[in-house]
Amino acid sequence: CTHGLAWESVLQLFCEMAECRVDRDFITYGAVLGSCGKGGAWRQAMRLLHEMAGIRVETDTIAFSATISACENGGVWEPALQLLCDMAAFLVERDTITFNATISSCEKGGVWKPALQLLREMSEVSVEMNTVTFSAAISSCEACGEWAQTLQLLLKMGADRVEIDTTTCSTAVSACGICMHWKPALELLHEMAENRVERQAVAYIAAVSACENGRLGQPVLKLLGEMVQHLV
């Protein structure tokens, strides 16, 4: 059982199994990969994945997903992208979870174009895109100051009938606020109210910041009043 153990401890136990000539099978490798995934130990996870292929232990969607998650949690996006390409080359099924983890690695790596390319690829290969998918892509765009792209992604979510939640909208408002675009920030807050999407403090703060940068005193006061009334 790997619950509660750090990936270093799990990996040490795994190595001791080899020293004691205890058979390490698909399930054992999967457990260690899962631990490395949670701990962001992407180099170790990739080494294990290559080792599995070398000794002909099955490398399935779960094994690749755990390794991609390790890349995501380790803040590296290029290895994650390569792993996703390897899955296609080796005819390993790529599902929503796998794509989501790869897009999230782009977010944490501070790149947005690869994230949008992955969205297009999901559409091309008919892999379902959900709220988590779009949220990760929107966060990637926000981190890079691509506020217009966040709005386009929100529109696509609506067109594809994907649930637009509080976090997704707040991130888009934040992107507009960071880039000092007060008008779309205010419009998004209004749409959130109309669609009964909960408005978090971060969304209000981002909109207030955008208005302040645009030297709009009255909207700032109105937003602050709404925030106090809504959040208190």
Query: Which range among 4-8, 52-56, 225-229 has the greatest average pLDDT?
Result: 52-56
Q: What is the pLDDT of residues 11-32, one digit of tens each?
A: 888 888 878 887 788 889 999 9
Contacts within 8 Å (CB) and 24+ apart, 164-167: 164/131, 164/195, 164/197, 165/131, 165/135, 165/197, 166/192, 166/197, 166/198, 166/199, 166/200, 166/203, 167/135, 167/200
- What's CA 78's distance to the chain center, in Å? 14
Q: What is the pLDDT of residues 70-124, one digit of tens each?
A: 999 999 999 999 999 999 999 999 999 999 999 999 999 999 999 999 999 999 9
pTM to 2 decimals? 0.83
